[in-house]
Amino acid sequence: MFQDKNILLGIGGGIAVYRMAELARLLIKQGANVRCVMTQSACEFVTPLTFEALTGEAVHTDLFDLTSERAMGHIELARWADAVLIAPATSNLLAKLAHGIADDLLTTMMQVCDAPVLLAPAMNSSMWESAATQRNLHTLKDDGFSVIDPRSGALACGEQGIGRLPEPQALADAILPLLLPQSLQGQHWVINAGPTIEPWDAVRVLTNRASGTLGARLAQYASAMGASVTLIAGVGTPNLGCDVQRVDVQTGDEMLQACVQVAQGADVFIGTAAVSDFRFSEVSEQKIKRGDTQQLNVQLAANTDIVASIAGMEHRPKKVIAFAAESEKHIEYAKAKLERKGVDAIVANDVNNMDSDSASGWWIDNRENGINEESIEKCNKMQFSQEIIKKVMELKP
């Protein structure tokens, strides 16, 4: 997700500092180069050694340190960063940044920094709600800083309320938009994801192995590129904590209703959900008893084809993309579906991708000079989503 990106962590003196160690590891695992600047207060909670060991880089703590000024001074550090995350952003740091105070390495560096900056405030809820903190936040947003709000729950001080630092993964997800071009700004994307479940009786259901990860990743990436995204999520679709409008559904019929309702006039619809082709013709409210039955025939009725319905709507989205998971003859079946469903493009992939972290497949679209077919090599689902979004953007409506 962060391959070769330079991310500077500005670490403030809040009780949540320890969580930044996990974040540093997470970012490095996802390909980022990470450097850390710690305030003097932050060093009271966790020593710089922790971050030095995790990042393999010198940790910068002192503005007037001759050694670090020679190695990488505060100006060079600011220029090095592709993005900066300040976390935990203490109420003190918010106040200093809002007023242009530059009395230590981190705040001085921020006066020189041209890179996008994300602030992750974390503090006691009274501090968070105080007039000064809210006023400072307002100023900082006006000045162009991005902010990820603290979460509610049990606080380190023993109180309950708002003020917790978001989970490391949520922080990483919130950095992503800072690094991507906002090319999808003003567009509405609708993406469905995950499996559907069709009830048979009070306890039994018909479902499939889809995890919903790919659709959730597509939603996350499109949103990080500025799109307003609605994710119609089947059961078990991961919540990646990103800024998407999420509608949870269970059955194929609920998925259809939700998609039709929100896809009217959208810019893009991507159907990644593994919608059950069939549902039970009759659903029993009670649990069906086995008794002496040795063989049981059940009747299934076909569900409505959601992607074909969306492609056939009067005010259909400008681009409709279907996914086809096949166990054989992937391209042949996908090409037939492209015609039959009236979609603009189809992504053919193997059923084994359904519950795996990686994916590979083929992008097939219909152009003036005939059918265009491109293979997408095996990669993780985040990279696969990036590839799909690039192709959706290139597709002429």
Which residues contribute to the site for ligand FMN (CB under 6 A)? 12-16, 39, 41-42, 88, 90-93, 122-123, 127
Q: In terms of CB distance, is 147 or 260 closer to ligand FMN?
A: 147
* Strand 278-280 with 228-233, pairing: unpaired
195: DSSP letter: B
DSSP string across 229-284: EEEEE-TT------S-EEEE--SHHHHHHHHHHHHTT-SEEEE--B--SEEESS--
Q: How far is the CB of 45 from ligand FMN (least distance, A)?
A: 7
Helix axes 91-98, 105-112, angle to 10 degrees: 40
* Torsion on CA atoms 172, 173, 177, 180, rounded to nearest 10: 80
Q: How far is the CB of 151 from ligand FMN (least distance, A)?
A: 13
Q: In terms of CB distance, is 165 or 233 closer to ligand FMN?
A: 165
Q: Which of 15, 86, 27 is nearest to 57 (CA)?
A: 27
Q: How far is the CB of 90 from ligand FMN (least distance, A)?
A: 3
Q: In terms of CB distance, is 63 or 273 closer to ligand FMN?
A: 63
Q: How far is the CB of 113 from ligand FMN (least distance, A)?
A: 17
Which position among 157, 242, 259, 379 bears the catalytic label? 157
Say how many Å lie between the first and final Cα of the chain, rounded.
28
Q: How far is the CB of 247 from ligand FMN (least distance, A)?
A: 35
Q: In terms of CB distance, is 15 or 334 closer to ligand FMN?
A: 15
Distance of CA 86 to CAs 208, 326, 388, Å?
A: 42, 45, 32
Q: Using CA atoms, how far apart are residues 67 and 267, in angstroms rounded to an integer? A: 54
Q: Using CA atoms, how far apart are residues 23 and 87, in angstroms rounded to an integer? A: 10
Q: In terms of CB distance, is 6 or 61 closer to ligand FMN?
A: 61
Q: In terms of CB distance, is 21 or 127 closer to ligand FMN?
A: 127
Q: How far is the CB of 355 from ligand FMN (least distance, A)?
A: 39
Q: In terms of CB distance, is 41 or 139 closer to ligand FMN?
A: 41
Q: How far is the CB of 16 from ligand FMN (least distance, A)?
A: 6
6: Cα separation from own chain's centroid: 20
The number of residues in the chain equals 397
Q: Using CA atoms, how far apart are residues 17 and 19, in angstroms rounded to an integer? A: 5
Give buried/exposed letters for 61-87 (b at 16+ CB in 10 A, else e).
bbbeeeebbeeebbeebbeebbbbbbb
Q: Could you confirm whether 379 is annotated as catalytic?
A: no
Q: Using CA atoms, how far apart are residues 344 and 322, in angstroms rounded to an integer? A: 8
Token couple for 289: 């008893």
Please give the positions annotated as active site.
157
